Amino acid sequence: MAPAPGAMWAGSSGGIFSYDVASGEINAFTAAEGLHDVQTIAIAYDQQRNAVWAGYADGVLDRLDVATGTVRTFFDIQRNDRFPSKGVNRLQVRGDSLLVATAFGLVVFDAVREEVRDTYSQLGSLSSPVAVRDFLIAEVPQGGSGLWLATDQGVAYAPWDAPNLQDPAAWDVDRDVRPSTDVYAIAELSGTVYVGTLYGLGQRGSDGRYTDTGLTSRTVRDMAMLADRVLVVTVFNVLGVFANGGAIVQADGFNNLHSVAVAEDGHMWLGDAESGLNHFERPSGNNRPALITGNIYPSGPYDSPFGEVVLDTYGNLWAAAVEGLPRSGFYKLSRDDTWVSYTQRFFSELNGRSNFLVVYADGEGNAWAGSRGGGLAQVDPDQVIQLYDQDNSSLLPAAGEQSFVIVSGIASDGDGNLWVTNTASPMPLHVRSPDGTWTGLPPVSCTRLGATSALGSLIVDSSGLKWIIVQDRSDLRLTVGILVLDTRDSPTDPSDDQCQFFGGRGSGGRGLPSTQINVVAEDTDGRIWVGTDEGPAYFISSSLAATDPSVQASWPIWTVQSRTAYMLRGLIINDLVEDPAGRLWFATNDGAYVVESSGSFSPSKHFRTSNSPLLSDQVNSVDVEGSLGLVFLATDKGLISYQGNAINPAPSVQNLFVYPNPVELAREQAATIFIEGLVDQTDIRILSIDGELLARFDARGGKAQWDGRDQDGSLVPSGIYLVVAVGRNGEGTAYGKVAVIR
């Protein structure tokens, strides 16, 4: 946090935001407003320039101009190639200097000349590089003001007026720091230096020796100064330590405290990863300060890393969390841009349940979320939450567990049955009929399917077959292949089921590129896509896929000579989806790839952080909102949407909407003329007013573009042009027109 006149600024895992104390107004800044990153590590307010500085894990600095909202980004520290780690840990403005505590030392950045002035990376006898977590400007033992640095190897200090602070000899070192040499925070009160360490709070005596105050054994994450006490932050509370050695609790009841700050009026502010900013009165005496305002944060999801995302029939986006986040839930972004976080903090129904790693939206308006341990959650169209586990369904805990119910896959079939994989349980597959009846099915028996396997993510294809990713039961992070299951016309009777398992690594364009499978999906051409850690493959969908031994996966091949033979070979494919124009969007650890797939495979676009506002190159999931053409890209740093040009096709032929109309062309500038209202597959013809055919092209989806050129590549002259769209599946012909002005 960073106090400013009348406001408090906060750096979070989702960007930067300010809170106006008088009005209560919150202003948020993210990558969309020009920030280099959204996961802010440190911030500082610069009163002289009315700016906020932000530092990130890669060493980059941002300067946000408060008055205009403009952002300048500085890469000086990141470009330093001497040290592998360059992350920013703490920032403080001192005059025209910005002091930057980094993973390799202390950097002095000139805020006027906008360049690095000095770097202190060799600190006495400490090995280099040394991570500086915090720093303090206070009197040093040599006399006069100096710098105290809290490092991961102890404490280093030096007077400001030392001839050369880049000289290791200028720094004295305290190695025997207690209770730990791993120091996170440092502060001074009445001439005594206090250190917040990995295992509690220590203090430096007049003889230079450190003692453990015994205040706490937890990690001290931050400290701040009042006139008569040091405020000490642990994960659960804030303690006040007096110069005479006394201590009191200033605030508690928190779950993930990170920071404390004292504003100009002496009020205490706490930064908590769950409740946001919390504003308290000025601490006084031995009383706990009163909370003025708590739970201050911008509208948005509870967590920044996003897992799977899906869109429901109403256009709402549902998102899962990623593994390893404490008290994570699942989230909904409504079409009016409001967020709902389904976590135990906001919904008592979810108490004790987290790790919702899979989401699904059925055709009846229900959203479903599967938990790694908490069973299955349903949010019905009236937003009522219903939970399913061993107490009210056929779902069972994992073998050897009492209540740990794992749900890894959710999908529905054409008859309204909901299929759920209950990973590592005695009954790994379950079906919920439309009347709400649950049935558990025994382990699937397939040739070559090992007894130690477990069922993971699944889809139900257009033929009603279930394609299920098979996990390694001893380590659910690993997969061993994929099976296709035909439950015939009796979903609750496994006696007539048929299945086929595909495992093992293929070669030469056949079989699976890798047995580590992340996603399975179906496109409109009937291909069943499998995304692996070594690229994509596809099966030709067939109602006999569960029994035909000749079925096997194929690796897609680029149809352009400038590309290597196999499409996206070697890339980690996290997710994929088809847009209304028939293009495939692949979510990878190298950004998002867009592939034209009409008849052949050719590259269309590749979005990365280097050429787009994408928040991270690690794209975990992707989905398309077809009515608006929005593509949602879920990353490990947040969610971003791309306004695409592919929308859902019209259900039948209708008058075409052509825009802009009229369109003005300057010299040889190409036009972008949109044609909307198309059926799924269309033959588009551009005719002159006297019927001459000028251009002709195919389109998929409800929207197409014409560049204003004829078949020879020349821009058409001024005039009125007819647009004729003929449905390729016998839907009929639609018409429109456009005026061109040269």
pLDDT digits (tens, 9 = 90+) for 414-427: 999 999 999 999 99
| Coil, strand or helix at 44 | strand
Q: CA quadruple 181, 260, 294, 51: dihedral positive or negative?
A: negative
Interior CA angle at 247 toward 245 and 249, to 5°?
170
Asked if residue 438 belongs to a domain, the reply is: no
Task: State how far the alpha carbon of 553 is from the alpha carbons of 50, 482, 515, 556, in Å.
Answer: 60, 11, 12, 10
Rounded to whole angstroms, the Cα distance separating 724 from 711 reads 16
pLDDT beyond 90 at 307: yes
Q: What is the mean pLDDT of residues 406-419?
A: 97
Q: What is the mean pLDDT of residues 405-418?
A: 97
The pLDDT score that the predictor gives to residue 356 is 97
Residue 406, strand partner residues: 372
Q: What is the mean pLDDT of residues 718-724?
A: 95
| Rg of the chain over all Cα atoms, to the nearest angstrom | 30
Asked if residue 415 belongs to a domain, the reply is: no
304 closest CA partner among 322, 327, 324: 322
The pLDDT score that the predictor gives to residue 560 is 80
Helix ranges, 324-473 (H) = none
CATH number at residue 664: 2.60.40.2550
Among residues 264, 296, 328, the one where a domain terminates is 296
| Coil, strand or helix at 113 | coil
Quick count: other Cβ atoms within 10 Å of Cβ 533? 17
pLDDT beyond 90 at 144: yes
Rounded to whole angstroms, the Cα distance separating 240 from 231 reads 5
User: What is the 3-class SS of 694-707, one letter each residue?
Assistant: EEEEEEECCEEEEC
Asked if residue 328 belongs to a domain, the reply is: no
Rounded to whole angstroms, the Cα distance separating 412 from 374 reads 21
Place of tokens 């009445």: 190
Report the side by side order of strands in the sheet with 105-110. 88-94, 97-102, 105-110, 115-120
Residue type, 212: D
Among residues 273, 296, 319, the one where a domain terminates is 296
Asked if residue 646 belongs to a domain, the reply is: no
pLDDT digits (tens, 9 = 90+) for 381-402: 999 999 999 999 999 999 989 9
pLDDT beyond 70 at 453: yes
Which residues in 340-364 are b (16+ Cβ under 10 Å) and which e?
A: bbbbbbebeebeebbbbbbbbbbee
- What range defines the domain where residue 670 resides? 657-741
pLDDT beyond 70 at 329: yes
State the chain's mean pLDDT as an integer.
95
The pLDDT score that the predictor gives to residue 561 is 64
pLDDT digits (tens, 9 = 90+) for 588-600: 999 999 999 877 8
pLDDT beyond 80 at 563: no
What are the percentages of helix, strand and coil residues in the chain, rounded to 5? 0, 50, 50
- 348 HSE (CA, 13 A, CB side): 0
Q: What is the mean pLDDT of residues 284-304?
A: 93
User: What is the 3-class SS of 47-74, one letter each residue?
Assistant: CCCCEEEEECCCCCEEEEECCCCCEEEE
Which residues in 210-240 are b (16+ Cβ under 10 Å) and which e?
A: bebbebbebbbbbbbebeebbbbbbbebbbb
User: What is the 3-class SS of 462-492, one letter each residue?
Assistant: CCCCEEEEEEECCEEEEEEEEEEEECCCCCC
pLDDT beyond 80 at 568: yes
Q: What φ, ψ does residue 494 adopt, rounded to 5°?
A: -80, -5
Asked if residue 628 belongs to a domain, the reply is: no
The pLDDT score that the predictor gives to residue 742 is 86
Domain count, the chain: 2
Rounded to whole angstroms, the Cα distance separating 373 from 395 reads 11
Asked if residue 272 belongs to a domain, the reply is: yes
Q: What percent of the chain is predicted at pLDDT more than 90?
A: 90
Give the global pTM.
0.88
pLDDT beyond 90 at 541: no
pLDDT beyond 80 at 375: yes
Confidence category of residue 327, pLDDT binned at 50, 70, 90: confident
| Coil, strand or helix at 271 | strand
Rounded to whole angstroms, the Cα distance separating 607 from 620 reads 14
Rounded to whole angstroms, the Cα distance separating 103 from 187 reads 20
pLDDT digits (tens, 9 = 90+) for 454-488: 999 999 999 999 999 999 999 999 999 999 999 99
Asked if residue 690 belongs to a domain, the reply is: yes
pLDDT digits (tens, 9 = 90+) for 687-717: 999 999 999 999 999 999 999 999 998 999 9
Asked if residue 302 belongs to a domain, the reply is: no
pLDDT beyond 90 at 491: yes
503 closest CA partner among 574, 547, 446, 545: 446
Among residues 234, 261, 296, the one where a domain terminates is 296
pLDDT digits (tens, 9 = 90+) for 235-257: 999 999 999 889 999 999 999 99
Confidence category of residue 451, pLDDT binned at 50, 70, 90: confident
CATH number at residue 272: 2.130.10.10
